[in-house]
Amino acid sequence: MQPIRPHCAHLLALAVIAAPALGQSVLNVPGQFPTLQSAIDVALDGDTVLVQPGTYNERIDFRGKAIELISAAGAQATIIDGTGAVIDGPPGPDAVVRFDDGETAGSRLTGFTVTGSDSMITSQAVWAMGATPIIQGCVVRDNHASLGGAFSGGGILIDCELVDNVGGAGGAVYGDADLYGCRIAGNLSYYNQGGGVFATGPCTIADCEIVDNLTGFDAYSGGGVAGPASLSYCLVAGNRVQPFGGIPVRGAGLFEPASVDHCTVVDNEILDLPCTGSCEGGGIYGGGPITNSIVRGNVPGQLLLTGAVSYSNVSEPTPGSGNFDADPLFVDAAGGDYHLSSGSPCIDAGDPSAPVDADGTTSDVGTYPLLGVLQSSSFSISVATGGNQSIKIDAGAGFGGGIHVLAGSVSGTSPGLPLGGGLTVPLVPDAYFSLTLAGGAGSPLQNGVGTLDAAGEGSANFSLPVGSAPTLAGLHVDHAGVILDGQFVPALVTNALPLNLLP
């Protein structure tokens, strides 16, 4: 089951967008305009340039305009290839896509593959130095650039793939852009820090995979990420640093991060040991604090830092509250699957003061929490103001088309309701149990019975009206249930999803 993140960083990032609405036209390429740049040149702030599938052999400049350049069919079918092309316009950095005139969040590039930056001396892939655009759903690959192999500058990158690029400083990214939900893989920084990312200033990296990047030649630190980034819910794995010429080498995974929370930093390596210079911190060097994270299997050593470490699984003795050293029982580390298996010691081992996981349990350690079938983003409702607990049901594709039957209890979860066949629903039957099982308009639990879609997903909702009886305050409610197969036989019992009723 693919986990749901405890936060929706991508959506929060989108909330900052407030594009001016001076123009609201849709300009079509190639229907109305033969090239991307010809459409950009006539667009007004607030306009959309809609691009049909194809390969566009050009280099483009947003000209400071608050417009969205969006593909009709996504990145795989819509390619901006700068090979041999030049930007038609005023002089500036030679880039395949250029934001060079103070563009902000109203300037957006959505759903393209960007390639064809072909010089490690003069060329760039996506250039946004001095600008803060939004790049979303893009693939930036197979570029060579003098700074970040894929991207240089500021702004926000959301759900992008930055793969197989070569950069002089930052194999994929150079600058202080925030990254959400991105995959950064197979990149090389050949002259300065950061095989994946060289963060030149404070930035956020959340829900990202940073894997199999290399810092080498004259570069010296941060095989995955170098610089003061705040990382959360990131996988940092298989990154390497290649020592060169006796230069001190540090942080094969992370070099001087501002903070690391709920990350899995594993199997990163400084190569060719012993090196002639100083080689330290195979996992994380410098920075901190480190919380709720897994740091294991890095070479040489796991941590060398000044910040505190807490509630983390580290494969060496590590002082601090809640730290431990135990096999995390990944599903398939050799195959690159760092999700937790059901018996992992990392489950519910996170900081008890941290927000709970989406299934209402104590936070897990590492990037990927092991979540129950029932999930939500809220676990309390005020009796005075009322509200809802939206319940996501995710039983996995193996239970697609099954029937979910949910009920509730205010009497706890143990000993539960045995169903036979080794299955026990974690609810103590009571009057509320009967009310919710029967359903109908009188039950606060709606859609407790329903059919899962092909992915094994469904939804239900608990609703408490404004001004409910004050005596309800203080109640702890649990909802749980069973998944029936095609023969209406109980096949899977859910977790109990908690809810607290407050004054």
CA 101 to centroid of chain Cα atoms: 29
pLDDT tens, residue by residue, 115-168: 999 887 778 999 999 999 999 999 999 999 999 999 999 999 999 999 999 999
Is a pLDDT exceeding 70 seen at residue 16? no
Contact criterion met (CB below 8 Å) for 417 and 427: yes
- Mean pLDDT of the chain, nearest integer: 92
Write down the pLDDT at residue 401. 95
Contact criterion met (CB below 8 Å) for 69 and 36: yes
**Helix, coil or strand: residue 12:** helix
With 0-12 CB in 10 A as exposed, 13-18 as middle and 19+ as buried, what is 136?
buried
Q: 26-337 with 374-501: one CATH topology? A: no
Q: What's the pTM? A: 0.88
Q: Any idea which fold 26-337 has?
A: Pectate Lyase C-like (2.160.20)
Write down the pLDDT at residue 21. 43
pLDDT band at 2 (very low <50, low <70, confident <90, very high): very low
**CA dist 192 → 101, 148, 197, 256, 496 (Å):** 27, 10, 11, 15, 50
Is a pLDDT exceeding 50 seen at residue 9? no
Tokens of 39: 């459409």
Write down the pLDDT at residue 124. 93
Write down the pLDDT at residue 120. 76
pLDDT tens, residue by residue, 257-312: 999 999 999 999 998 767 656 778 899 999 989 999 999 999 998 998 878 999 99
What CATH number does the domain located at 374-501 have?
2.20.130
Beta partners for residue 409, in sequence order: 478
pLDDT band at 23 (very low <50, low <70, confident <90, very high): low
- Dihedral sign from CA coordinates of 280, 284, 287, 293: negative
- CA–CA dist 95, 130 (Å, integer): 14
pLDDT tens, residue by residue, 449-468: 999 999 999 999 999 999 99
Show me where the domains of the chain are located.
26-337, 374-501
Write down the pLDDT at residue 86. 84
